Amino acid sequence: MSAPDIAHLLRPTERNPGIPLDLDWVNSIRVNRSAVERRAATLPGRRTVKKQWQAAWLLRAITCMDLTTLGGDDTPGTVQRLCAKAIQPVRRDLIEAIGAQSLEVKVGAVCVYHEMVSTAVRCLQGTGIPVAAVAAGFPHGLSPFKQRVEEIKASVESGAREIDIVITRAHVLNNEWRALYDEVAAFREACGEAHLKTILATGELGTLRNVQRASVIAMMAGADFIKTSTGKESVNATIPVGLVMVRAIREYFDRTGYRVGYKPAGGIRTAKQSLDWLILMKEELGDPWVRNDLFRIGASTLLADIERQLEHYATGRYSAFNRHPMG
């Protein structure tokens, strides 16, 4: 490896600025589904964490969590309670029993619709927890393009520091790579200083090859994170899809020196699943990607099961879910 190659590997983490669209790279992408599925099947068994190490990994999972409420019945009261849980995600008595008081455990972000951004910003003021807003016609991405861009700008003006947008799936299904690149680049520009998390809706892209090509183009266009799903599709985050996406992140880093984050979302409900995703990140990308500046888990009900596992570690007993309310 040459000196310039080594230099970019040692570069401190900085925001991905994007690169010009490289269609030769996009068209050269191939994915061996059977090999991906074999590797994905072995990942959960390659590492096991027990006792205090499991508790530590679960606390790390909480810090990487985008605590989310995206219901049609959301109210300011719902969001206020969610923000209170984001600030104190684990009961104080459990934190004391584990001996983790000094860690100041809190979630990575709170994710809401635009209408609730100002409420969440007000509730989280001074905590350091950013507000993420879903935008750009979420969850389908089919509203007029100008309207999607204005929605992003409005959420940023309201105080959102992260924007979760959703791509137009038809661009991928029709091999309209320039249109996809231009769309994501326009969304990135509309975000300004807010970080852009690009949702690919992988369950609707048809093939793993499409997933990898969409991942690469989103990164070329300046995405700070690539994300699996809206949580509204029939198939959401799966380990095989995750493997394809994180390997795209690794190749992008190898080629450009820029680190892009990853966010699986949808269907991640158990503490065991959160550990599987952390193992995937550590095995495929290494330690920098098991921190919340480069890894997030989109979740709404996951936190309650993690709390149950932490209580089992502290007391030897499992508790009911109603002992761990979301707010």
Mind telling me the catalytic residues? Answer: 164, 227, 263
Q: Which single residue is written with the structure tokens 């709404």?
A: 300
Alpha carbon distance 135, 152 (integer Å): 6
Which residues in 128-256 belong to E strands, given as ranges?
131-135, 162-166, 195-199, 225-227
Q: What is the 3-state secondary structure (H, E, C) of 62-97?
A: HHCEEEECCCCCCCHHHHHHHHHHHHCCCCHHHHHH
Q: How many CB atoms lie within 10 A of CB 133?
A: 30
Q: Which helix (H) or strand (E) is 235 found in, with range?
A: none
Closest CA to 18 of 146, 227, 182, 239: 182
The encoded tokens of residue 270 equal 């158990």
How far apart are the C-alpha atoms of 75 and 213, rounded to whole Å?
38
Torsion of CA 60, 63, 64, 69, to 10 degrees: 140
Q: Identify the three-state secondary structure at position 323.
A: helix
